[in-house]
Structure 1
């Protein structure tokens, strides 16, 4: 079939012209994309998508070269679009993997620091440790702690001051 006649029949939506186009060019186009991708199934998918897109846009398409060149260029562009999409997917996967690794590392570091901090808390004198735990971990007010332990609020303040000073001084050496 003459290429000009074929293009005109395609524009008019003649199914026989599309069947002819498909039977004439499909295998060549698949082989071309297969040479680029190395994947037979992918090459068939890309060519089919390109031919479907060609059919859907047939009325608006302007072909300045040969139909064969136009189809090869269309398939080539479709393949490049596929690669871009895959790159975006891989970039997104890399981002997710990096975030997961970073999150795991931060979690691990936090657990490590907490374990060291617990060791430091265990080194506090018994009464000082008890007051610190009630204040910081149990979130009790100084007045409540004083009532629980039968001591003055001022004693609670002094013990907390000692505990915080000890932890601050030793944490900078110990947690590094």
Structure 2
């Protein structure tokens, strides 16, 4: 059993850049997190990779640790979000590759299709960077971090309605930018829109 007061002191120290406190937190939670994640991933490598990513994120935002009341739910929620992000990313990659994949992956058509996909992805990134800062952040939280509309609204302290309006406006802009600058086919526009606006 971890003493709450002791853990709170570790969080405060860690928030100030104390690497020893950070190492203690890591040592205490790495095994429980790996066991928890393995229930879903069934992969030791994936579980360990997610845990590493979790603690990298925690260290990058260590200043926020002073506001954390209990580290266990905080670190497990972070791990869950990383797990969901991994699942969504792999599902998206698989579906996109399936969409682009011709009869044989060894064919030159496959290489051409993948190159075209990369081009579209780069242009979409350019479009995203042209969005107003608030709209861009909402778009990233939805499409890259996989957060729900409710989670975005809570994180930014705005209403769900505002999140929806900003997300739809961002998606429409990026879609039109792709249509104009990449001569995107109707099928790929629909495909892109599906993944950007999926709940």
With structure 1 as the length reference, what TM-score do the two structures score? 0.53
Q: Which runs of 5+ in 2 are unaligned?
A: 111-199
What is the count of residue pairs matched by the alignment? 103
Which residue of the partner structure matches residue 18 of structure 2? 14
Change in Cα spacing, 1:65 to 1:99, as seen in structure 2 (3 Å) is: farther
Cα RMSD of the aligned pairs, angstroms, is 2.4
1:78 aligns with 2:82: yes
Determine which of 71, 82, 95 is the counterpart of 2:99: 95
Q: Does the 8 Å contact 1:9/1:17 carry over to 2?
A: yes
Determine which of 24, 28, 43 is the counterpart of 2:32: 28
Cα offset for 1:23? 0.7
| Secondary structure class of the residue paired with 2:101 | helix
With structure 2 as the length reference, what TM-score do the two structures score? 0.47
| Secondary structure class of the residue paired with 2:63 | coil
Which residue of the partner structure matches residue 147 of structure 2? none
Q: Which runs of 5+ in 1 are unaligned?
A: 104-176
Cα offset for 1:60? 3.1
Determine which of 37, 42, 46 is the counterpart of 1:38: 42
| Secondary structure class of the residue paired with 1:54 | helix
After the TM superposition, which parts of structure 1 deviate over 4 Å for at least 4 consecutive aligned residues?
A: 61-65, 98-101
Higher gyration radius (CA)? 1
| Cα deviation digits, residues 20-42 of structure 1 (max 9, x gap) | 01110001101111111100000
